[in-house]
Structure 1
Amino acid sequence: MTVLKLYRRDVTNSGITEVMPRLAEIEAVVQGFVETHMETLLGVRFLASEYSTGPVHGGRIDSLGLDENGSPVIVEYKRGVDAGIINQGLFYLSWLMDHRAEFEHLVRVRLGSRAASEVLWSGPRLICVAADFTRYDVHAVREHRRSIDLVRYRLFGSDLFGLETVASVSGGTRVVRSARRRAVARVAADAGSASMVELAGAVDEVLVGLGDGVHRVERKTYRAYQRLRNFACLCSPQRSKLLVYLKIDPKDVDLVPGFTRDVSGLGHHGTGDLEVRLRTPRDVERAQELFRASYAAA
């Protein structure tokens, strides 16, 4: 087990003090904190807590949500290490797939009709939040054809809460590189620009290659690149440019007219407040630092 070590700097004598990690006293503390801040922590809109699966299944789903791309999300919590968390979550995930209308009704009530009509059933997700996971857990999620994230939590001091992704698997949505190239080429070709085929492929290679556990989620108007949360969205190519939206605060970037733009508060496909316009391979090279920064923050 590896755990982040955190230190507090003493400004009076230039010394440092380690902030010791600890576990929550009870599981409900972790669940309550994550549910309260679910969109910030996980990129998931909160729908329900302790959701009953009815008398036949006889269980309660810890948290239900909807992620940034419209995928249903189940979140299960354990205070410590529990070998049953993955199987429990997969049981509820199977229940969810058999009760799509019930879930869409919940989304309609909580988030509105538009969100309910855009639920993406091709990639339901299970997020397990626990004190830690064994190597057998990590191996197990890689054997399942489901999208599963294993997330380790720690409390630091009285006011710090940390999350670390231990393993992230996209289930049946992962494709081999050659197939990924062909898919990107088809999308770009549909846009009517041969020059966009190679450019879109280059962007895809860079984003997928930023690290392990990058998931690609296909929507009608954009392709999301996701760790625990989206970090980039590549919109359907236009004839002369590609638009990529990143999860970076535009205030932290020196905006370049024609290349980067602040779109916070403006409607657009995908997620992210920084728009990057790509027209040439040189633009892709220029954008790589921005891609890395967005990936690191996800």
Structure 2
Amino acid sequence: MIDVPLILAQAAGGSDPAAVATINSLPFPAHIGAILALAGGLLLWAFGRGMLRIFFVVVGTGAGATFGAFLPPALGLNIEPVYTVAAGAIIGFITSFIAFRFAIAATLATTLAIVAPIVAATVMSVHGPPPTTDAAEEGPTPTEAYLDEMRERADAFQDDLELLRDGHDLIMGAGDDAEAAAPTALDDTVEMLQRGAERIRAFLSRVWEEHGKAWWAAQPGAARFALVASVVGGALAGFALGLAVPRKGAAVVTSFGGAAIWMPAAVWLLCATPIPLEGALPAIPAAWLIAWVVISVVGTWIQWTRSKRQADKD
């Protein structure tokens, strides 16, 4: 099936013109998801603080109302649904309003636990063990060989592209049979996403087994301690910040999350244009991580500044 993460990663680094050409060859409907992701990610990045609480409360209220609607029949109770729905909605509203602070704290703890070691590793210039001459003479490393294998699998992208096009044509031209055709196209899309997720897990597992363990073993004790401390410190600081100032914490969470959504979407859409991208985008993962952190900090600053201005007006 379509290996979207691989194609996008190759295109983002500019290392594989074929990946860019593949994205460019897709029909417009294939880019609608990226367009929506770009718009949604930008909104989340710049305005997510206010949106998140509303979304959280609305979802909690809706979940409570739904639970209230199905609870009496499940328990065999003869109660008017309007009462249980209203009670469930009220309970869901109150619960979500209270749980919002803890949800932000947990999410912010996870976010800072990821960001803190990235910043620490960048500041300390942490690197892996230098390649030996023997290893260079023997040829590519196992990870590089696996990447080559994944690039070869990308040739199957064209087959998957034809599958999606067939599904699109089937639905658009099915007329009265559109309802029968839609599940087939949906099943194909779900299968594509499942295989893509499976390949990501397999790739990350292999990278850790063949490179991550060796990289960690090569670090001096001080670097290991600093990295572990940054993870623990980031998690604790994030949790404390989320509990103490959930609105500011929500700004951090939505800025980092929004940037993680719209940045890949922007790369995808750039690859869909005739703009030459070779050499224009960062080619190493560390550069993308740094860019993500910087852009996320900018988004956090925008949201905090807007919040302060609104408070001053009030």
Give the structure with the larger strand fraction. Answer: 1
Would you say same fold, with TM above 0.5?
Answer: no
**TM-score, normalized by length of structure 1?**
0.21
Q: RCO (CA 8 Å, sep 6+): is it higher in 1 or 2? A: 2
State which structure, 1 or 2, has the greater radius of gyration over its C-alpha atoms: 2
Name the TM-score, length of structure 2 as normaliser. Answer: 0.20
More helix by share: 2
